[in-house]
Structure 1
Amino acid sequence: MIDNTRPAPPGTEPEWLRPLLKPDVPARVSSAGYLDVLPDHDVAAPNRSQSLWLSGLGPRIYLSLVQPLVRLVGAPPGPGALASGLRLAPGASVLDVGCGPGVITAGLAEAAGREGRAVGLDVSAPMLRQAAAVARPNMGLVRGDAQDLPFRDAVFDAVCSTAMIMILPDPSAALTEMTRVLRPGGRIAIVVPCRGGGLVGTIGAYAGRFAGGRMFGPDEVAALLEPLGFDLIRSHANDMISTTYARKADA
């Protein structure tokens, strides 16, 4: 049984994590304990948002400024709300794509319980080092590409992605990959910045364009998920944030 009451020892890899990877994916363990499946050289950043995310400055700005501000004006769902929307049951396996500093991943790990598993994936090594500091024993971390996930087909009961796909060159590719690794009947949650009205929406739209991120329409993610084989799709949007939940249809 997984002991979910103590933090994971630093620099260790959960024994259950590597078997989730595709057999041809080379992975090395970092000193922080996350599995790295990307090349040793730096990953190219296509816009300002990803450049900051990959830098050591990114985690500090995100934790001290961006996260508190977005919570204040946009009220994005926290780990508890996401776990509820995903119908995350004890013993479930869940993937957090674009996990950043790991706050949501850790909360999902707690919701999955001692027999459950939560995996956080991010392209940023500085972010993953932050995530490793809050890792739970039933939580694994992987440095990888959201548009080419290193995991086997249909190995997760739930997948979520919070404020990540908007900075990707091809959000649809990432959604297709999340669909691939999700089991039939599993659920997905996607949180993105939304083109809202009013002063808050206008400020958010300008900030998003300056950073190189994409602003989504209130139902745009739902429209992207439907042709991928999802049903029970529901979206909620305010002036800043759109949250979409859906179920992958049974085969």
Structure 2
Amino acid sequence: MTARDRVLALLAERPTDTSGPWLDLVHGRPGSRGRVQELWESASGASGYDGVLALGDRVEAYVPGLVGGAALRDFYRVDERLGLVGGETVLDLACGPGTLTRRLARAVGRRGLVIGADLSEPMLARAARSTAFAQVDFARLDAMDLPFTDAAIDAVSCSMCLHLVPDLVTTLRGIARVLRPSGPVAFAVPAHAPGPLRPFSDLFARVGQARLFGPGDLSGVLRDLGFTGVEERWLGGVRVVDASAPPS
């Protein structure tokens, strides 16, 4: 079976057109998700984001820990945070240009499957062009309306997505539903700046119409929804939260 065949088998409803470089599983175009999301929907925004992620991916192994290397490695090595050993089905939610998707593909190997999912077509176009793995396929989907059957996914990577969704709880419940019981999930979300810099990050969030996360904000919601093993770390401008889906 091809990766496309394997993805189709996980969907609650088969799309009418399955011939494109990615599956379009969004019915129509969702309303505006804010100015940051609109930037990611543009070719220039996708290109700029791709450049930033690619640079970090190239240097993370060489940056000393005292100047942020540990934080970079925590963000990029999502395969290690998920404990992947090979053969898993992984959803890379908000895959962007595919930087983390490629890491996940190497971790799951040919027996595994990685679904790179994003709402932005320019992001998916860049990801599909640069990710030549037989075990990878891409889908355009809405993070608040995941189209997979219950417990279809072994692990979820969700980096730099939750600050843009209008309804955080709906999104997290959807992730819990499609994950197998106790399946691992690795989040990365933008954080409030500390101390005197806080007003500047708050201004950025208001202008960009995006959510920023303070200490325990995401962790608390996850625990309320039944996620277990919740661990949170602050990496400067990003909060990393790892957890396991509810056991049943």
Which category describes the TM-score, using the shorter chain as reference length? 0.7 to 0.9
For residues 119 and 185 of structure 1, what CA distance do their matches in structure 2 show? 19
**Bigger share in strand:** 1
For residues 120 and 21 of structure 1, what CA distance do their matches in structure 2 show? 14
Which runs of 5 or more residues in structure 2 are unaligned?
61-66
Partner of residue 28, structure 1: 17
* 1:126 aligned residue (113, 116, 122): 122
**Which amino acid is 2:179 matched to?**
L
Deviation digits for residues 37-89 of structure 1 (CA, Å, limit 9, x no counterpart): 123x544223101111222222112123577589897737344x211111112
Report whether the alignment pairs 1:93 with 2:89. yes
Give the SS at the match of 1:75: helix
Conserved in 2, the CA contact under 8 Å of 1:201 and 1:239?
A: no
**TM-score normalised over the length of structure 1:** 0.85
Equivalent runs, 1:176-187 vs 2, <5 Å: 176-187=173-184
Report whether the alignment pairs 1:167 with 2:156. no
The alpha carbon displacement at 1:206 in A equals: 2.9
Seen in structure 2, the aligned counterparts of structure 1 residues 183 and 69 have a Cα distance that, compared at 3 Å, is closer
Seen in structure 2, the aligned counterparts of structure 1 residues 206 and 247 have a Cα distance that, compared at 3 Å, is same
Report whether the alignment pairs 1:60 with 2:47. yes
Deviation digits for residues 109-151 of structure 1 (CA, Å, limit 9, x no counterpart): 1111121111111111111111101221101111010000011
For residues 175 and 129 of structure 1, what CA distance do their matches in structure 2 show? 26
Report whether the alignment pairs 1:196 with 2:193. yes
For residues 32 and 19 of structure 2, what CA distance do their matches in structure 1 show? 21
The alpha carbon displacement at 1:25 in A equals: 4.5
* 1:106 aligned residue (102, 108, 117): 102
Give the SS at the match of 2:244: strand
Conserved in 2, the CA contact under 8 Å of 1:96 and 1:118?
A: yes
Q: Size of the alignment, in residue pairs?
A: 237
Give the SS at the match of 2:5: coil
Partner of residue 221, structure 1: 218
Partner of residue 48, structure 1: 35
* 1:230 aligned residue (227, 230, 241): 227
**Which amino acid is 1:29 matched to?**
T
For residues 36 and 118 of structure 1, what CA distance do their matches in structure 2 show? 16
Partner of residue 203, structure 2: 206
The alpha carbon displacement at 1:93 in A equals: 1.1
For residues 174 and 210 of structure 1, what CA distance do their matches in structure 2 show? 23
Seen in structure 2, the aligned counterparts of structure 1 residues 141 and 69 have a Cα distance that, compared at 3 Å, is closer
Identical aligned residues as a percent: 31
Partner of residue 117, structure 1: 113
Conserved in 2, the CA contact under 8 Å of 1:201 and 1:240?
A: no
Report whether the alignment pairs 1:15 with 2:5. yes
Equivalent runs, 1:143-158 vs 2, <5 Å: 143-158=140-155
Conserved in 2, the CA contact under 8 Å of 1:78 and 1:104?
A: no
